[in-house]
Amino acid sequence: MVVSERGTGKFAQEIHMGNHVVYADEPLGTGDDTGPNPYDLLLGALGACTSMTLRLFADRRGIPLERVSIELRHDRVHIEDCDPAAGENCRIERINRVITLEGDLTDEQRTTLLQVADRCPVHRTLHVAKEIVTTLAT
């Protein structure tokens, strides 16, 4: 994957992913709104992975899942009983994910699918400790 400035606006980016190109930008007022912002791309990755994971699981188990829809929202939330004066980080990044499952599903199947949603690879990546190594190109 290669991300580079498009040269068409202050923040407009062009993201090359194999045979695909996606654009990113910031909303009007900050950018030119020529594409989703970086957090929207992150939420889109989580939503797509969750939906694909549920579809794969349902198909393999013969669960009559007709359609999956996922609504996501990112918020920054203040942590209760936190003391910023003590150098503590007093906010948490929260992603709210609401999953709609369509089909003739039992309560047990719905519960199982909800548990499976947390096992999608992107969800797991977001939940484990991460290391991002940054270097300058030579």
**Does residue 87 carry a pLDDT above 70?**
no
| Contact between 57 and 65 (Cβ < 8 Å) | no
- Judged against a pLDDT cut of 90, whether residue 135 lies above it is answered with yes
Statement: residue 51 has pLDDT above 80: yes
Between CA 94 and CA 80, with CA 89 as vertex, the angle to 5 degrees is 65
Question: What average pLDDT is seen over the chain?
Answer: 93
Strand pairing category for 13-17 and 20-24? antiparallel
pLDDT classification of 110: cutoffs 50, 70, 90? very high
Q: With 70 as the cut, is the pLDDT of residue 73 above it?
A: yes
SS3 112: helix
pLDDT of residue 27: 95
What is the reported pLDDT for 86? 65
Side chain identity at residue 117, one-letter code: A
Cα 80 to Cα 76: distance, rounded to the nearest angstrom: 13
Output the pLDDT for position 29: 92
Asked if the model's pLDDT at residue 84 lies above 70, the reply is no
Residue type, 55: R
pLDDT at residue 125 is higher than 90: yes
pLDDT beyond 80 at 66: yes
The 10s digit of each residue's pLDDT in 15-26 is: 999 999 999 999
d(CA 17, CA 2): 7
- Give the pLDDT score at 24: 96
